[in-house]
Amino acid sequence: MFMFFCNKCFLPKNVENTNKYYFSNCGHVFCQSCTPTGLCYICKTPYAARTIDANMTKSMAVYFESPVNAFRRFQKIVQFQTMQDALNAHYYVNCLPQQIQAALKKLNGMKRIDAHLDEKLAHETTRIEKLKAYLAYKKRSLQERHQRHQRPARGRSATSTAYSSGQNSRPKTPTISTLSDVTMSSVDCTKSTNLSNQSDSFLDHVRNDFTI
Ligand SMILES: [Zn+2]
Ligand SMILES: [Zn+2]
């Protein structure tokens, strides 16, 4: 500890001197025998002081610390903060760009997946619309077939004549190109059957439906 002394009587604090010493706010030191009653003897400012002992605050104790020890502590502080700044700079210069590149790569992958899903959704929407048209056609065909079976024999003859002359309200058959685009998966979704393979048999059924 720094060897201090009273700034008025100049007696040093040592083992033999049991007097209390005080450290004022103005930075001057006085022994208990020379304590100012109002103003500091040296700088003439209002006197306010604390006892110099082992219980003094850390901010007060640093004034009595060995300058060599303080310098070594200062060196450790500088080394520590310099190392922390270097690590921080290394992260921003080397690590962060790599993380950004990885994030951008992942983002681009997600965009490609999103575009693929949009394309698949549009395709499936179109397929569903074509299936709906096909089912509506089949429903109309079955209804008309059922109606023909319920009519009298002479009525059916007239209907047959009308169909053969092309003046009936025969349901419009989906075109072959439309059917070829539609994949039937309503019966078993795990098996896709292209209607183009069934178009001939399908048209045969249609002809049979309208032939009396
Ligand atoms: Zn003194
Ligand atoms: Zn003073």
User: Across all residues in the chain, what is the average pLDDT?
Assistant: 82
More confident residue, 107 or 206: 107
| pLDDT at 29 > cutoff 70 | yes
Supply the DSSP string of 71-140, one letter for each residue.
HHHHHHHHHHHHHHHHHHHHIIIIIHHHHHHHHHHHHHHHHHHHHHHHHHHHHHHHHHHHHHHHHHHHHH
Model pLDDT, residue 145: 93
Q: Are 137 and 171 in contact (CB under 8 A)?
A: yes
Return d(Cα 96, Cα 116) in angstroms, integer: 30
86 Cα: distance to centroid of ligand 2 (angstroms): 44
Nearest ligand atom owner, CA of 19: 1
Nearest ligand atom owner, CA of 9: 1
Instruction: Match 């059957």 to its residue by tokens.
Output: 193
| pLDDT at 36 > cutoff 70 | yes
Nearest ligand atom owner, CA of 25: 2
37 Cα: distance to centroid of ligand 2 (angstroms): 12
Residues 6+ apart with CB under 8 A from 107: none
31 Cα: distance to centroid of ligand 1 (angstroms): 4
Nearest ligand atom owner, CA of 20: 1
| pLDDT at 99 > cutoff 90 | yes
43 Cα: distance to centroid of ligand 2 (angstroms): 4
195 Cα: distance to centroid of ligand 2 (angstroms): 106
Model pLDDT, residue 150: 86
Q: Does the CA dihedral 105-110-113-118 come out positive or negative? A: negative
pLDDT tens, 107-157?
Answer: 999 999 999 999 999 999 999 999 999 999 999 999 999 999 887 655 554
How deeply is 6 buried, as exposed, middle or buried, from its count of CB atoms within 10 A (0-12, 13-18, 19+)?
Answer: buried
Q: Which residues surround ligand 2, an ion (CB under 5 A)?
A: 26, 28, 40, 42-43
Instruction: Match 């201090």 to its residue by tokens.
Output: 4
Write a three-state SS string for 166-180: CCCCCCCCCCHHHHH
Nearest by Cα to 56 from 13, 91, 119: 13
Nearest ligand atom owner, CA of 35: 1
Mean pLDDT of 16-23: 94
Q: What pairs with residue 83 in β-bridges?
A: none
Q: Are 62 and 23 in contact (CB under 8 A)?
A: no
Confidence of residue 185 (pLDDT cuts 50, 70, 90): very low
Nearest ligand atom owner, CA of 42: 2
The values of phi and psi at residue 49, to 5°, are -140, 165
23 Cα: distance to centroid of ligand 2 (angstroms): 10
| pLDDT at 166 > cutoff 70 | no
